[in-house]
Amino acid sequence: MSTEKTRDLATVTTDDKGPLTTNLGQPIDTDQNSLRVAERGPTLLEDYVLREKLQHFDHERIPERIVYARGAAAHGYFQVYESLADLTRAKVLTDPGLQTPVFVRFSTLLGARGSADTARDVRGFAVKMYTSEGNWDIVGNNIPVFFIQDAVKFPDLIHAAKPEPHNEIPQAATAHDTFYDFISLTPESLHMLMWVMSDRAIPRSYATMEGFGVHTFRLVNAAGKSTFVKFHWKPVLGVHSLVWDEAQQIAGRDPDFHRRDLWEAIEDGNFPEWELGIQTLSEDEEDRFDFDIRDATKLWPEELLPVRRVGRLTLNRNPDNYFAETEQVAFSTTNIVPGIDFTDDPLLQGRNFSYQDTQLSRLGSPNFTELPINRPICPVSNNQRDARMRFTINKGRVSYTPASLDGHSPDETMPSRKGFVSYPQTVTGPKMRIRSRRFSDHYGQARLFWNSMTPPEKEHIVQALQSELSKVETRAVRQRMLESLQTINETLAAVVAATLGETLPGDGTLPELADAVSPTSASGGVSASKALSMAGQPGSPKARKVAILVEAGVDVAQVEALQAALKAAGAKGEIIGPHLGTIPGIGAADASVQPAKTFASTSPALYDALYIPGGQSIRILKKKGDARVFVTQTYKHGKAIAATGEGVDLLKAALPAGAALDQLGVLSERDTARLDTATQRFIAAIGSRHWGRAALDRISY
């Protein structure tokens, strides 16, 4: 007698091997044709195979996220360096021997699911840690402050920022009237606006972004002592960005730029890494600053409260299935573990309601917590039952408490005090719909951010504002925005005003951006903070991509030498030629290269640096507009360029007189005997941008 093998109820993954079946396991003869009467007759209603397949397809989409719809994610782990038991009793932060599994989803706030990765926007940085005490989510951003102070304004902010409702234009962009109408009437948003106009809003990759928990949280230790905390993720590769012109080109050339980069970095073994940082403030220091620590439009200057690096997050595995994992993952600020708690930040309080609510509408049932990507790694035990798509088969008849049947389980953790216990904060006072007076300084930290920028960073902010506000059609809104900018810095406002055809009081000469600083307030007395600037970040070649231009007659040895050196440094060279297949070169007999891309399939915007190897190829490349554009665009975007041997001729021919040569990341080495040192200098230059080159539009051709 044979018994059917008992089905493993926990099985949730499949590689779809074996015979083709229906969703209920019935083997199917074929699904290439539907069931019909004779060869040319009508299809039969009886065809359950067809109906099941179409019905499943018809329901394949779930509503995209209202915000942060466009995203990409990866698996990894988190490990704390040393026990933080003095601050918290959370196991994930107290056991250095523990590798806690994590799933991290990066996203853009505004665009729809199919929008371009490189839009100017805040990036979501949502971390789910599957700890032994339940899931802990830090649902953060790559910008440390938010647009608004109170959750009740969130729908207004998002309605104003999303495409305008009458024509759904523009997609994934803040450059339109309703956004600036709202911003110009909401001064609390100006600090975040400065960040969004800066290069932070166009990151080079997810691996080169900082992450922030934004709100002030609490850490609570075993003795019940609470310490205020801000969470930071510091990228090991440093913070790096694109430039605006480049980001816009990438949006067309490769809208998947960031998700592709994340995917490829992990497949190549270049695992993205961040250190967890904490800034802490003791309970009795709550009122130490001239701003309220519960105000999410304020950061804590690192000069006052340095960031302590306490652990490391590594992303080392791509998801197997985008929908099942990245699309169905459900984050929530309420996913916290014993040892971590909330504060009365009014934005956080509203979020604590919103996330669970949104999952019900997206995922359709409170059982979304049972989906593989959402369920915790520790046991779940309570008296909750039923609802749509229940996966767990609870045994026994007790689904209530108190109960005496079935051994009366699960037990509350109260007697042991080992479970989550809310911090017993004292709260008194009348109920009122009011904003705290300690939240009222909206300009001080916007000025702090502006003051902290280097001249090129200031220039980029100005260019972004000029570009955005030029697209605002209503003059009154543009003028109101200029008034807002004036409250941050007069020079900033004047330079933007000039592009908008407006003049501000003054003698009409445009002031120097470099000297534009403003008095700060609400910043604990700090007037400029190095931590806010992206200058001086580590510039690693790891995971960077270099374009190598070839044509027939290229010196293959030069190409191979660079490829090998790049590989050793964790970077990648991509050969770009006139066609795919084999390009004959010079060197050993049969020397040749195989391009991965052609000028038709790629663009200089997609690379971190450019290499022009020597050879007879240069004679052809010099005559090619595409090759010259590669040089000028790479130069314009501040990226490293190296030319060796005859390659120097193309470099000189393409760059106009007055362009930087042999300085600021532009390197030429005619003597091929010195290839090695040239290569090493080049590789050292590809992980950073080189500002200070004379801009092409200020050079005469």
| Contact indicator for 232, 277 with CB cutoff of 8 Å | yes
Q: Counting contacts by CB under 6 A, is residue 233 touching ligand HDE?
A: no
Among 89, 200, 298, 351, binds ligand HDE (CB under 6 A): 351
Q: Where are the beta strands (DSSP E) in 86-220?
A: 100-108, 123-131, 134-141, 211-212, 217-220
By beta-carbon proximity to ligand HDE, the closer residue of 328 and 634 is 328
Minimum distance of ligand HDE from residue 334's CB (angstroms): 11
Minimum distance of ligand HDE from residue 375's CB (angstroms): 16
Among 72, 127, 307, 347, binds ligand HDE (CB under 6 A): 347
Amino acid at 566: L
CA 670 to CA 17: how far, in whole Å? 57
| DSSP-assigned letter for residue 59 | T
Tokens of 338: 């014993």
Cα–Cα–Cα angle for 77, 78, 84, rounded to 5 degrees: 160
Q: Counting contacts by CB under 6 A, is residue 350 touching ligand HDE?
A: yes
Q: Which secondary-structure segment (H or E) carries 359?
A: helix 346-363
Q: Counting contacts by CB under 6 A, is residue 262 touching ligand HDE?
A: no
Minimum distance of ligand HDE from residue 285's CB (angstroms): 23
Amino acid at 374: N
Q: What binding mask, one character per residue, do residues 497-536 give for ligand HDE by CB under 6 A, x or -?
A: ----------------------------------------
Q: How many residues does the chain have?
A: 701
Q: Counting contacts by CB under 6 A, is residue 124 touching ligand HDE?
A: yes
Minimum distance of ligand HDE from residue 342's CB (angstroms): 13
Q: Counting contacts by CB under 6 A, is residue 126 touching ligand HDE?
A: yes
Among 84, 92, 151, 161, binds ligand HDE (CB under 6 A): 151
Instruction: Quote the crossing angle between the two packed helices 455-470 and 244-253, to the nearest 10°.
Output: 60
Q: Counting contacts by CB under 6 A, is residue 482 touching ligand HDE?
A: no
Residues 23-82 that bind ligand HDE (CB under 6 A): 65-68, 71
Q: Which secondary-structure segment (H or E) carries 680?
A: helix 675-685
Residues 452-481 that bind ligand HDE (CB under 6 A): none
| Contact indicator for 317, 73 with CB cutoff of 8 Å | no
Minimum distance of ligand HDE from residue 373's CB (angstroms): 11
Among 154, 271, 322, 691, binds ligand HDE (CB under 6 A): 154
Residue tagged 């007698």 (tokens): 1
Burial class of residue 479 in the structure, from the number of CB atoms within 10 Å of its CB (0-12 exposed, 13-18 middle, 19+ buried): middle
Residues 311-330 that bind ligand HDE (CB under 6 A): 329-330
Q: Counting contacts by CB under 6 A, is residue 214 touching ligand HDE?
A: yes
Minimum distance of ligand HDE from residue 195's CB (angstroms): 12
Select the span of 76-84, 233-241, 354-362, 564-572 touching ligand HDE (CB under 6 A).
354-362
By beta-carbon proximity to ligand HDE, the closer residue of 329 and 461 is 329
**Bond prior to 170 in cis (omega within 30° of 0):** yes
Among 88, 94, 100, 107, binds ligand HDE (CB under 6 A): 107
What value does the CA radius of gyration of the chain take, rounded to a whole number of Å? Answer: 29
Among 358, 499, 521, 533, binds ligand HDE (CB under 6 A): 358
Select the span of 140-148, 229-237, 401-409, 654-662 touching ligand HDE (CB under 6 A).
140-148
Among 103, 136, 146, 449, binds ligand HDE (CB under 6 A): 146
Q: Counting contacts by CB under 6 A, is residue 334 touching ligand HDE?
A: no
Residue tagged 């000029």 (tokens): 466
Minimum distance of ligand HDE from residue 327's CB (angstroms): 9
Minimal CB distance residue for ligand HDE? 124
Strands 211-212 and 226-235: antiparallel
Minimum distance of ligand HDE from residue 188's CB (angstroms): 13
Distances (CA, A) of 339 to 192, 207, 237, 343, 363: 30, 28, 30, 13, 29
| Coil, strand or helix at 428 | coil
The CB density around residue 631, as the number of other CB atoms within 10 Å, is 24
Q: Which secondary-structure segment (H or E) carries 494?
A: helix 490-499
Minimum distance of ligand HDE from residue 597's CB (angstroms): 31
Among 70, 75, 105, 693, binds ligand HDE (CB under 6 A): 105
By beta-carbon proximity to ligand HDE, the closer residue of 349 and 466 is 349
Minimum distance of ligand HDE from residue 108's CB (angstroms): 10
Among 48, 77, 271, 355, binds ligand HDE (CB under 6 A): 355
| Contact indicator for 249, 205 with CB cutoff of 8 Å | no
CA 659 to CA 641: how far, in whole Å? 12
CA 597 to CA 548: how far, in whole Å? 10
Minimum distance of ligand HDE from residue 445's CB (angstroms): 16
Nearest residue to 444 (alpha-carbon basis) of 301, 331, 276: 301
Phi-psi region of 467 (alpha: psi -120 to 50; beta: other; left: phi over 0): alpha
Among 80, 110, 116, 139, binds ligand HDE (CB under 6 A): 139
Minimum distance of ligand HDE from residue 252's CB (angstroms): 25
Minimum distance of ligand HDE from residue 124's CB (angstroms): 3
Select the span of 36-44, 138-146, 380-388, 501-509 touching ligand HDE (CB under 6 A).
138-146
Q: Which secondary-structure segment (H or E) carries 267?
A: helix 257-267
Minimum distance of ligand HDE from residue 405's CB (angstroms): 38
Report CA 139 to chain centroid distance, whole Å.
12
Tell me the helices (H) and strands (E) count for the chain, helix number first: 16, 19
Among 100, 115, 141, 208, binds ligand HDE (CB under 6 A): 141
Residues 388-407 that bind ligand HDE (CB under 6 A): none
| Interface size with ligand HDE, residues (CB under 6 A) | 26
By beta-carbon proximity to ligand HDE, the closer residue of 372 and 692 is 372
Minimum distance of ligand HDE from residue 105's CB (angstroms): 4
DSSP 330-343: ---TT---TTEE--
By beta-carbon proximity to ligand HDE, the closer residue of 193 and 565 is 193
CA 100 to CA 128: how far, in whole Å? 10
| Contact indicator for 564, 629 with CB cutoff of 8 Å | no
Residues contributing to the site for ligand HDE (CB under 6 A) = 65-68, 71, 105, 107, 124, 126, 139-141, 146, 151, 154, 214, 296, 329-331, 347, 350-351, 354-355, 358
